[in-house]
Structure formats: structure tokens, C-alpha cells
Amino acid sequence: METVLETKAWVRACKVEDIPANGGACVMIDGEQIAIFNFERRGEWYATQNLCPHKQQMVLSRGMIGATKDEPKVACPFHKKNFSLKTGACMGEEDYQLKTYEIKVEGSDVFVGL
């Protein structure tokens, strides 16, 4: 059986000040739009695909962030579907799924793990 090794590269995505506190912004990395969220109230950062899988809109970085039962989430600004920022899973009954990325902050730089 073949073993697939996962290699992850940390890519500098933006500066901390590029992302509004308790909000998000979109960055382009390797031709892909990635939504980065600074959940300052919780002291947490998240990164997901920017594409909402419901109607294929590039909007999630502009979604409102919050939490349901302590699960951090983003609500798509279009039809308000909620997605877990931790797992990317749709929190409604549909099984839409977002890609999520590891994220870290070092000094004033934000890195995304690809």
C-alpha cells in the first residue's frame, strides 16, 4: 500500500491589520480566494474557502461571524447559511462543506497552511 505524505507549506497571507477585528477579508493565494477571519472576541483566527457552496458566490469573507453553542461560525451574507469555522461543515440541514485551512499569526503576519 502506498503511503501519501502530506506536506504543508505556510504561506504568508496578509498582515494582521488587513483583517478587521471580528470580521473577515479575502486574500488570493495560488489563484484561490481564501477568507481569513480574525475572531478577536475569542482570540482566534480561521481560514476557509471564500466560495459559498450554496450558490457559488465568492462572499464568505464578508459574512458575519458568531457562535452557536460555542461553535464559531460564519453566516453567508447572501442566504445566511451558517458554516462552522472549525470544520467547514454547514450547520443547517444541508451537507455543504467548506475547505478549511490552518492559520497562524506570527508578529504582524498571518500565515495559512496549504
* Residues near ligand FES (CB under 6 A): 52, 54-55, 57, 76, 78-79, 81
Nearer Cβ to ligand FES (42/54): 54
Q: Which is nearer to ligand FES, 10 or 78 (CB)?
A: 78
Nearest approach, Cβ of residue 20 and ligand FES (Å): 20
Nearer to ligand FES, 10 or 97 (CB): 97
In the complex, minimum distance from the CB of residue 75 to ligand FES, in angstroms, rounded to a whole number: 8
Compute the least distance from the CB of residue 60 to ligand FES, in Å. 7
Judged by CB, which is closer to ligand FES: 35, or 110? 35
CA geometry: angle 34, 8, 15, nearest 5 deg: 45
What letter does residue 56 receive in the DSSP assignment?
Answer: T
Cell of 89: 461543515
Quickly tell me which residue has 461543515 as its cell. 89
Q: Are 110 and 12 in contact (CB under 8 A)?
A: yes
Question: How far are the Cα atoms of 23, 29, 32, 73, 111 from residue 82, in angstroms, in the given order?
Answer: 15, 24, 21, 6, 25
CB of 25 to ligand FES, least distance (A): 17
